[in-house]
Structure 1
Amino acid sequence: MNEAKGLDNGVMMDKQIIFEDEQIRVIFLKGSSAELIFSFGDLITRAKGLSVNAEKSLHKFDFNVIGIMPKQKSWFPESSILAMMDSIQPVIAPFKARIAYGGSMGGYAAIKYSNLLDVQRVVAMVPQYSINPEDVEDTRYNMFYQPELNGRMFVRAEDVSPAREYIVIFDPYYAADRVHIEHLKPLIPHAHYLHLPYTDHDAIAVLASSALVHDFLRHPFDASYFYKKMREVKKNSKFYYRKVIENLLPRHRAALGHILKSNALALDDQFFDAKQKQALLRELFSNKQVDQQDLAKLGIQVSMPQEKRSLLQDAYGHGLVFNVISQKIESYAAGAIELNHKFLIPIYAKGNALVQISWNDQPYMIVMNDRQMMKLVLLQDELSLGMHPLMMKKYAGYYVLSYKNLNLSTDELGAAHFADVLDDSSKFVPQLEKA
């Protein structure tokens, strides 16, 4: 076991890695609670050091936590979880009160392994039933399905139990998530389904609150109580207002003016993407609902250049991005990039130039060392020793991203690496960004 003690806001944290294989890293965060929380990571916040999903919220209340963090985009393969169980028994055995918590991929695992972990409560936000295209067609995640790892990955009757309490949070109007819920309902008809309308897949971001996490884990279920707490959190969530505006704008034009007039928003200019800004401005100016102050609330400048950009796509039709969480170049399907645009920053065709991204309205170049460790550096900043900028090279019909004599390639799962080859996997085609 790898042990470490770290500081969080000045408080010493006792952590240790208690299991690890190619797919997952399992970390024990020691606390003083009677309960043991199994906290599953998600697709974006994969294993990084000793970080645990929802760590700040869980540590604030001194929970004992088993953080199960994915190292790959592989949806917690059963083989890894079973191997984990053999290794962590001495740690989890003393705890009779157990709770599983997670969102999206982590929500799937919290439900899927609820019997195996012998938990009393499961809190799952926007979970999947399966990513196997034969089970559920979901263009966001089907690309990550691997038969050798995810065989029979769908949630089965023997995975769940009516003796366990399931709390499932989702947007009933978001078809991509609703299809998974419809598959889960016959398996866990006794579950408590809490609706979070007009948030799409962003429930995790919208409901980010230590107090709410605490209530989900400990408070006896009371639908009216939870809805009251969720409303309180939503009112302070920028993510919520963005999703509400996205969903209501096409159908209820007057709702936007009402939201602006009745809420003290102060959004930055990167809060909405270009497509959202365009739609907002069209409605605002055509209906004369708002003034300059209201535009400032939305972080919108009146004179915005409409820049046409071309996203680089790999041989599998996936867009090239810089993942600010993993600090790596990766490729994702267009739907996944749009869904997680705060963390997956597109790499656009720039001609022969340094590889750059624009993040928080600042231009960054992507640099790397010989160990293929990447980081972002502001254009005007100095490079640290050993770091070199990545270069973008333009050829007839495609681009190549290079580090010294090595070229970047991506595979069908979106992972990227550098090698001394130039083939179809290292040729990126510019695709004009949709308005």
Structure 2
Amino acid sequence: MEIFYKNKDVIISNSFYDTELLVISFCPLIDERQTMTKDSGFGKVFFENKKISCIYVIPTWNHWYQYEYMQDALEIVKVIAKGFKKVVLYGVSMGGYGVLKYANYLKACDVISISPQAAVTGAQSEFDSRFLQFWNKIDYKSDSWHAENNFPLNVTIFYDRYHLEDGRHARLVSNYIKHAKLISLPFSGHEVFAVLNESGILSDFIFSLLSANVDYAVLLSKYRRNRAKSGVAWMYAARNSLTRNRVNAAGRLYKKSIDVIEWRKLNGLTIDAAKAKMTLLSFVDYCFSTNNYAWFYDMYKRFSNRKIINVDLTEHYIECCFLSGDGNAFIAAVQELDKSGKARSPKVAHLTKQAIEKSIAAASDFH
């Protein structure tokens, strides 16, 4: 049976194989510049490859699954879910919020919520400004699930206790769902899903959570043994060191984070381009804040050709030349940018003006 429902706010699609187990998957934050389709379901490739029946809840914009935008779609999902013996809700970040919000409504047996938000409105959400640009566009916001009772027996929250916002959200969830299992995966940040995937253990985690008996100690042990394969995990370890004023240790961890990205490329392992870029730029910030320009230059030589990941480091290279006082390299880099036909960004234009004022370069160098 194929289901397809669409309105201006949400799409519902499915892949069914049997009536024993049904996963209802809620998408995380989406890129609103892209058009979502019935094939945009979160985890679709995985669930279809493993022949696990799944309903995909796909937002067309980031409305955090507020009821006013979901009402008709939820009725369809609720009716269909009744035909399955076990119903598991699964979501990450925004999707993690969605599965908590509708755990009772959809009569779930289990809930798997990864890096969720616990509140999107009111005083309890004010500590988190990461998603305000999206929350401010939502006309109807309610955290009504906070007042509900009788949540499913198995509610599992995966998060990183060292991550400021996610740690607070997880603790807030536990205030409302006392029996929720809070499983911290240190140094995964808000990218728990990406770190598990890069570590090669995401499938193991999902299968274990879908099984009748989950051994969390085994999962945590597996995570600790494999997280070194993730550049993102090394980056968050570095950030954690910085919060403890262990600047030198943070530097070593940051270097390891970019080494791992290169190692993954050389060994034909998948690289999440967005997460790798985030890791690289975090390393750049560290280099500049600690005046460690030699480390930046080394990284630039390895990554500037975009063969490892497609990220343009030109602006950062120009900034490094300026900060390190290397006038010849600065002039050559700006001249090369001008020759390429690309317009100078406001930042490069400002750096060029400063370079002239500080006599690192002369105005005549750029004419």
What do residues 283-310 of structure 1 show as CA deviations (whole Å, max 9, x unaligned)?
Answer: 6969x99xx79x9699899xx72349xx
Match of 1:202 in 2: 191
Name the residue aligned to 2:284: 277
User: Of 95, 100, 107, which aligns to 1:111?
Assistant: 100
How far 1:129 sits from its partner (Å)? 1.6
Distance 2:215 2:29 in 1: 30
Identify which of 227, 235, 241 aligns with 1:242. Answer: 235
1:48/1:229 CA distance change after superposition, 3 Å: farther
Using a 3 Å threshold, how does the CA distance of structure 1 residues 116 and 279 change in structure 2: closer, same or farther? same
Q: Residue by residue, what CA displacement relative to the aligned partner does 1:371-416 show, whole Å, maximum 9, x if unpaired?
A: xxxxxxxxxxxxxxxxxxxxx9x9xxxx9xxxxxxxxxxxxxxxxx
What is the aligned residue count?
A: 304
Q: 1:40 & 1:433 partners in 2: Cα distance?
A: 43
Equivalent positions of 1:393-432 (< 5 A) are none
Question: How high is the TM-score relative to the length of structure 1?
Answer: 0.58
Residue 157 and residue 254 in structure 1: after superposition, are their counterparts in 2 closer, same or farther (change >3 A)?
same
Contact 2:257 2:279 in 1 (8 A): no
Correspondence for 1:23: 9
Equivalent-residue separation in structure 2 for 1:45 and 1:215 (angstroms): 30
Report the equivalent of 2:86: 97
Corresponding residue for residue 265 of structure 1: 260
Residues 207 and 200 of structure 1, relative CA distance in 2, 3 Å threshold: same
SS in 2 for 1:221: coil
Judge which range, 266-275 or 113-122, deviates more: 266-275
CA drift at 1:122: 0.5
Output the CA distance in 1 between the equivalents of 2:288 and 2:227: 24
Contact 2:120-2:141 within 8 A present in 1 as well? no
Counterpart of 1:69 (choices 21, 46, 58) is 58
1:278–1:132 Cα change, 3 Å: closer
Cα distance 1:238–1:221, how it changes in 2: closer, same or farther (>3 A)? same
Q: Which residue of 1 aligns with 2:23?
A: 37
Determine which of 149, 152, 168 is the counterpart of 2:142: 152
Equivalence for 1:229: 222
Deviation, 1:148, is 6.8
Give 5+ residue unaligned stretches, structure 2: 266-275, 321-336, 352-367
Out of 194, 209, 219, the residue aligned to residue 216 of structure 1 is 209
Deviation string, structure 1 residues 221-253 (Cα, Å, up to 9, x no partner): 322022123234423222222222233256332
- Identity level (%): 20
2:74 partner SS: helix
Aligned pairs (5 A) from 1:140-179: 140-145=130-135, 149-158=139-148, 160-179=149-168
CA distance 1:44–1:190, change in 2 (3 Å): same
- For 1:170, the aligned partner's letter is Y
- Aligned-partner Cα distance in 1 for 2:2–2:222: 31
**1:77-132, CA deviations, whole angstroms, 9 ceiling, x for partnerless residues?**
21333322322455322102000000111000111100011111111011112222
1:187 corresponds to: 176
Relative to structure 1, the CA distance from residue 266 to residue 42 in structure 2 (aligned partners, 3 Å threshold; closer, same or farther) is: closer
Q: Which has the higher helix share?
A: 2
Shift in CA distance, 197/432, structure 1 to aligned 2, threshold 3 Å: farther
In 1, are the aligned partners of 2:235 and 2:257 still within 8 Å (CA)?
Answer: no
TM-score of the superposition, structure 2-length normalised?
0.68
Code of the residue aligned with 1:226 in structure 2: it is: L
How far apart in 2 are the matches of 1:156 and 1:261? 41
Relative to structure 1, is the Cα distance of residues 283 and 76 closer, same or farther in structure 2, using a 3 angstrom cutoff?
same
Change in Cα spacing, 1:271 to 1:104, as seen in structure 2 (3 Å) is closer
Q: Could you tell me whether the CA contact under 8 Å between 1:23 and 1:77 is conserved in 2?
A: no
The structure-2 alpha-carbon separation of the partners of 1:16 and 1:433, relative to structure 1 and needing over 3 Å to count, comes to farther
Alpha-carbon distance between aligned partners in 1 of 2:79 and 2:282, rounded to the nearest angstrom: 52
Q: Distance in 2 between matches of 1:139 and 1:76?
A: 18
How big is the shift at 1:135? Answer: 3.5
Tell me, yes or no, if structure 1 residue 50 matches structure 2 residue 39.
yes
CA distance in 1 between counterparts of 2:277 and 2:68 reads 41
Change (3 A) 1:29 1:272: same
